[in-house]
Amino acid sequence: MDPLLISTAFIFGFLVRQIGLSPLVGFLVAGFILNALGFKGGESLHTFADLGVTLLLFSIGLKLRLKSLASPEVWAGASLHMTITVIVFGFGILGLKLADLPFFTDLTFPLVVLIAFALSFSSTVFAVKILEEKGQMGAMHGRVSISILIMQDIFAVLFLTISLGKLPSLWAVLIPLALFVIKPGLYRLMDRSGHGELLLLFGLFVALVVGAGGFELVGLKGDLGALILGVLLAQHEKSSELAKTLMGLKELLLVGFFLTIGLSGVPTLAAIGASALLVGAVVFKVVLFFVLLTRFKLRARSSLLASLSLANYSEFGLIVAAVGTSQGWLNPEWLVIISMALAATFVIASPLNTAADALYIRYRGKLCRLETETLHLDDQPIESGNATIAVFGMGRIGTKAYDSLSVRYGDTVIGFDFNAEAVAEHCDAGRHVIYGDPTDPDFLQRIRRRGTQARLALLAMSEHRANLSAAKHLIAVGFPGKITAIAHFDDHVKELEGIGVHAVFNFYNEAGFGFAEHAWQVMEGHHPQDVVT
């Protein structure tokens, strides 16, 4: 990648990060500035961007459970939202056409539908970045958002197949059989790839060669292949490790994606005006998502956070514009118009998502009036029994802490996690673990206790922002016990202690102390005690 691109992206990403916004906003700004200076990204940057999106979809597949797509709020919610949006946006664009506004006057009815369809999608890249930064991919609203986006991606693939007139090869019907045949082999390769650079190369091989390359050979979209191969590997015990191994490379390549949006074209004043109208229309999409999700029995908070993560236009709109211009259907400036609208919605949605919980708390009374009387199963009140010690985040550290505390305090220990499958596994292993999201401001109010007072909360979630958010909510509602948390870096320790967390366990430092204690016991001939690893 060009040094100028790297430098500009870093500078603006860094500056934006200092004011509490997502770095992706800085990358977009960097693209616009480079564009204004006459810089052109070139083929290499677009290749980086495409690889980043492919790896993103592969990573989503690694975390996806197909049964989540069968939920009514997902398949019905996505379908209804798209249908209603296309109809409403279609009438709106026709109104602008009748008003003789530039770029709209030349649109025929099929092109009106085409643009409305393109604007009905939300960005997978944006939503995943926001949810990963907040550590909420596994939360109720995160799972619903991602599943809706997967449904939209399926609609997108169907559209592209039809609009380009490229029917898949007859060999495409053999894909299910091929996946069944290669699955055992891929699992064995994954087992034998270890934990370092070879595992990274395995992930790239499966995503880019087997998935994207294989599907393109039979006339299907490569991104779809990467997604499906990710789903194929999702049940392997190393799928989470593979996703983490790919994360750094995926994040780097996605910088190219955000830069390409800003570099997509030089707008005219008329194009800026047209894109501003499209940006205003995104409010309808957000409101419609919120209304539909609450009708499917999600709580107001889950519906709001899911809606805000989808409060944007999609990179798919750029693909539609590119198809339309290449076929001679659309004025080429529509590519610039949609690019600007997409970038603007990213810039606006980023701080809104950062402040999502604050917005919910401020307007909770009004938002909760739209909830249904019967709530979704995952949003029901939580029965905690006589528990007085709670472990939030039942990963490796949380599970070790839970098991150790259970030996001392018995059934007064309870675990919480927002990964439904992990909760089921813990319950099968005999642990008292309940599905719940401690980053939810209403979390403690949903817990029903049997007259016992909470004594201790252990925040053991893997994402620092999730632990920080949970600690703030616990302190805000006056949690009566002590609050402890884990952290990986000294600045994270200071941040947690600064808001009132009673004790912070620096994982790397304390693991070193534990290892020294373990070695000392062996040297002195004592039986070494288990330590958290």
Give the tens place of pLDDT for each residue, 407-440: 988 888 999 988 777 888 899 999 999 888 777 7
Superfamily of domain 381-523: NAD(P)-binding Rossmann-like Domain (3.40.50.720)
**Percent of the chain residues past pLDDT 90, beyond the cut:** 28
- Tell whether the model's pLDDT for residue 311 goes beyond 90: yes
Question: Do the bridges between strand 456-459 and strand 482-487 make them parallel or antiparallel, or are there none, so unpaired?
Answer: parallel
Please provide residue 29's backbone torsions phi and psi, each rounded to the nearest 5 degrees.
-60, -40
**Percent of the chain residues past pLDDT 70, beyond the cut:** 89
State the span(s) of the chain assigned CATH 3.40.50.720: 381-523
Tokens for 323, please give them.
Answer: 């198809």
Coil vs helix vs strand at 447: strand
Mean pLDDT of 5-29: 82
Mean pLDDT of 474-494: 87
Tokens for 119, please give them.
Answer: 């604007």
Residue 255, pLDDT score: 85
- Tell whether the model's pLDDT for residue 483 goes beyond 90: yes
**pLDDT, greater one: 201 or 132:** 201
Contacts of 229 (CB under 8 A, 6+ apart): 58, 61, 206, 207, 210, 211
Residue 86, pLDDT score: 95
10 Å Cβ neighbour count for 470? 24
10 Å Cβ neighbour count for 336? 20
- Tell whether the model's pLDDT for residue 13 goes beyond 60: yes
Mean residue pLDDT across the chain:
84
Tokens for 412, please give them.
Answer: 């007064």
Burial status of residue 147 (CB atoms within 10 A of its CB: 0-12, 13-18, 19 or more): buried
300 membership: H or E segment, kind and range? helix 300-309
pLDDT tens string 216-233: 888 887 888 888 899 899
- Tell whether the model's pLDDT for residue 525 goes beyond 70: no
Coil vs helix vs strand at 458: strand
**Of 506, 498, 470, 502, which is closest to residue 483 (Cα–Cα)?**
502
Contacts of 272 (CB under 8 A, 6+ apart): 340
**pLDDT, greater one: 516 or 484:** 484
State the span(s) of the chain assigned CATH 1.20.1530.20: 44-368
Buried b (16+ CB within 10 A) or exposed e, 382-418: bebeebbbbbbbbeebbbbbbeebbeeeeebbbbbbb
Token pair 């009140």 in the structure block, residue: 381
CA 359, 365, 368: angle at the middle one, nearest 5?
A: 90
Coil vs helix vs strand at 391: strand
Is pTM beyond 0.85 here?
A: no
CATH number of 44-368: 1.20.1530.20
First-last CA distance in the chain: 38
Q: How many residues does the chain have?
A: 533
Token pair 């989503």 in the structure block, residue: 60
SS3 annotation, 466-523 = HHHHHHHHHHHCCCCCEEEEEECCHHHHHHHHHCCCCEEEEHHHHHHHHHHHHHHHHH
CA distance 518 to 523: 9
- Whether the Cβ atoms of residue 455 and residue 425 lie closer than 8 Å to each other: no
Q: Give whole-number Cα distances, 62 to 31, 242, 283, 459, in Å.
A: 30, 8, 32, 25
CA distance 524 to 516: 12
- Tell whether the model's pLDDT for residue 262 goes beyond 50: yes
Residue 270, pLDDT score: 84
Mean pLDDT of 480-484: 90
Most confident of the ranges 278-282, 296-300, 332-336, 464-468: 278-282
10 Å Cβ neighbour count for 269? 8
Residue 160, pLDDT score: 67
Question: Do the bridges between strand 413-417 and strand 433-435 make them parallel or antiparallel, or are there none, so unpaired?
Answer: parallel
- Whether the Cβ atoms of residue 336 and residue 264 lie closer than 8 Å to each other: yes
Which segment of 202-216, 310-324, 347-361, 369-383 scores lowest on mean pLDDT? 369-383
Give the start-end residues of each E strand in 132-238: none
Residue 531, pLDDT score: 44
Residue 533, pLDDT score: 41
Coil vs helix vs strand at 1: coil
Token pair 């206790």 in the structure block, residue: 449
Which segment of 193-202, 228-237, 243-252, 327-336 scores lowest on mean pLDDT? 327-336
- Whether the Cβ atoms of residue 399 and residue 459 lie closer than 8 Å to each other: no
Residue 1, pLDDT score: 54
Residue 372, pLDDT score: 85
Q: How confident is the model at residue 526 (pLDDT cuts 50, 70, 90)?
A: low
Q: Give whole-number Cα distances, 263 to 38, 227, 258, 512, in Å.
A: 9, 27, 9, 47
C-alpha atoms less than 13 angstroms from C-alpha of 97 in its C-beta half-sphere? 16
- Whether the Cβ atoms of residue 256 and residue 34 lie closer than 8 Å to each other: no
Token pair 């891929």 in the structure block, residue: 186
Residue 532, pLDDT score: 43
- How is residue 22 annotated by DSSP? -
Mean pLDDT of 9-16: 88
pLDDT tens string 129-186: 888 777 777 778 888 998 998 888 778 777 766 665 566 778 888 888 999 999 999 9
- How is residue 377 annotated by DSSP? G
Residue type, 264: S
**Of 472, 478, 532, which is closest to residue 508 (Cα–Cα)?**
532
